[in-house]
Chain A
């Protein structure tokens, strides 16, 4: 047993670092009323309509980002794997570029290029949202790229495509009904990361939309004005993120099981 002393110590240290702030935030969120534990802070959070609206906004943006990334990346990567292997390093490099541009710098560049004439995209709501979506796609690009790439590597793409073609399927059918279902688990992985990124993303939303439209800027604003509500929101957002992680993991496992079944 003594041989395992150090590993246990390091793991305990890590777990303590991980859970202590979460535990403290939870306790703190219950102390809105002096002397007793109560859920008053949570009531106040839900009473503010901007909480729900900003969360819904960010959720929709996250789902849209995931969808657009898949539409952009799955065909591109499939073609690269099948026909254009020589172009792969270029696209691979492009997918790494977002790591090189910090989000503050990215939004700075966006405002400089797109927010002034001749483009002036940010003059309309739709233009601003479109630009924000593009920014989110850039931020999640490396993760989506990696997970789709891993998915495509893991399947026998050429055989699947040739088999579908010989059965008379067109490319749309091949993508939607053959390739996508086969890489779904791998793509879920990147989708989860993307979801977490977009929900928690402050910088782009803060400088493109101002304070209270998206979730994270709304949180930051609440944090400046209140004491207990931020803690309550932190607990809630952690629960929500964790819940979504669990759902996605559950979905992922299930599909893995069904895929592995027939083999």
Chain B
């Protein structure tokens, strides 16, 4: 190639590159301004005290019964609803894929799941108040049948109630996540194991479940993250008084309880760390799960 030609080629590409790269700038600017900067600011502030000096004291302050209770409750609710939601979601996803139900049922369930996984927050809390609150329809019905829920220790505005409400948006998400994975189970695998003499239980135990395991775990981790960051549902149901990390941060923003802004930064940082681990794990598991899905 002649030197002159190479020169012009180089010049043209360089300019085009600069122009092309600039088109990504608005997105990156937006991301830095409205995602990285706010999160980063909380992160940095969590290492400083009220006088602006660098310190680890805020994290030491987290060793407080109320903070520990808040984290423990958030983790407990997230883990419990992730497990229950995953099991129920898996069973429903199994029913509409491998279970061989009519095509219409499958479409309907997937539509419901789409709506229900989005039907969270304030209206969902109201729906459960109308259903299982003190004067709720189902509560009244059960009382007529001689079962008084509230005299038997049930309370919608407590841990058990929150679990019940969270599962409402958790299990449909699991259905949506697991359906493609279950669709990926190929007929040939079942036939091959049958030829080799495996019965149904053996097929599930040694073939299907090991293949599905990364997808199931990925789904559970996703549900965990889904519940851990949730705020609106618990806020609408309990008025924000229930001791969870999200509520404590919210109370700090409204200006009561902690009176320690630096500690709230540390709490927020703790949430970001846990969510980062969660989403990281999910991404890795998802990648592992997709290995079997690829044609």
29 contacts between A and B (CB under 8 A): A7-B100, A10-B99, A11-B92, A11-B95, A11-B99, A17-B171, A24-B131, A25-B126, A28-B136, A72-B27, A87-B24, A99-B279, A102-B231, A103-B231, A104-B271, A105-B39, A105-B268, A105-B272, A109-B41, A111-B253, A193-B118, A200-B120, A200-B122, A203-B232, A227-B135, A230-B130, A234-B126, A241-B118, A245-B114
Query: Number of contacting residues on A, CB 8 A?
Result: 79
A152 close to B (CB within 8 Å) = no
Question: Do A207 and B118 contact each other (CB < 8 Å), given the known contacts A75-B23, A99-B275, A202-B235?
Answer: no
Residues of A within 8 A of B127 (CB): 21-22, 24-25, 231, 234
Interface residues of B in 256-270 (CB under 8 A from A): 264-265, 268
Q: How many A-B residue pairs have CB under 8 A?
A: 247
**A72-104 CB contact bits vs B (8 Å, 1 = yes)?**
110110011001100100010010111111111
Closest chain A CB from B202 CB (angstroms):
18
Closest chain A CB from B29 CB (angstroms):
10
Residues of A within 8 A of B192 (CB): none
Question: Do A21 and B109 contact each other (CB < 8 Å), given the known contacts A10-B99, A107-B253, A108-B268?
Answer: no
In angstroms, Cα B35 to Cα A110, docked, is 9
The answer to whether B253 and A10 have CB atoms under 8 Å apart is: no
The answer to whether B21 and A84 have CB atoms under 8 Å apart is: yes
In angstroms, Cα B45 to Cα A103, docked, is 18
The answer to whether A97 and B95 have CB atoms under 8 Å apart is: no
User: Which residue of B has the minimal Cβ distance to A215?
Assistant: B122
Query: Number of contacting residues on B, CB 8 A?
Result: 81
The answer to whether A4 and B275 have CB atoms under 8 Å apart is: no
**A9-33 CB contact bits vs B (8 Å, 1 = yes)?**
1110111011011111101110000
The answer to whether A102 and B23 have CB atoms under 8 Å apart is: no
Residues of B within 8 A of A22 (CB): 127
A224 close to B (CB within 8 Å) = yes
B residues bordering A, Cβ < 8 Å?
20-21, 23-24, 26-28, 30-31, 33-39, 41-42, 45, 88, 91-92, 94-96, 99-101, 105, 109, 112, 114-116, 118-131, 135-138, 167-168, 171-172, 175, 225, 228-232, 235-236, 239, 246, 249-250, 252-254, 264-265, 268, 271-272, 275-276, 279, 283
Identify which of B31, B100, B112, B283 contacts A97 (C-beta below 8 A): B31
Residues of A within 8 A of B131 (CB): 20-21, 24-25, 28
Residues of B within 8 A of A207 (CB): 250, 253-254
Binding site secondary structure of chain A: helix
The answer to whether A196 and B118 have CB atoms under 8 Å apart is: yes
**A164-202 CB contact bits vs B (8 Å, 1 = yes)?**
000000000000000000000000000001001100111
The answer to whether A100 and B279 have CB atoms under 8 Å apart is: yes
Query: Which of these binds chain B: A42-50, A130-138, A154-162, A255-263?
Result: A130-138
The answer to whether B275 and A101 have CB atoms under 8 Å apart is: yes
The answer to whether B123 and A113 have CB atoms under 8 Å apart is: no
The answer to whether A202 and B250 have CB atoms under 8 Å apart is: no
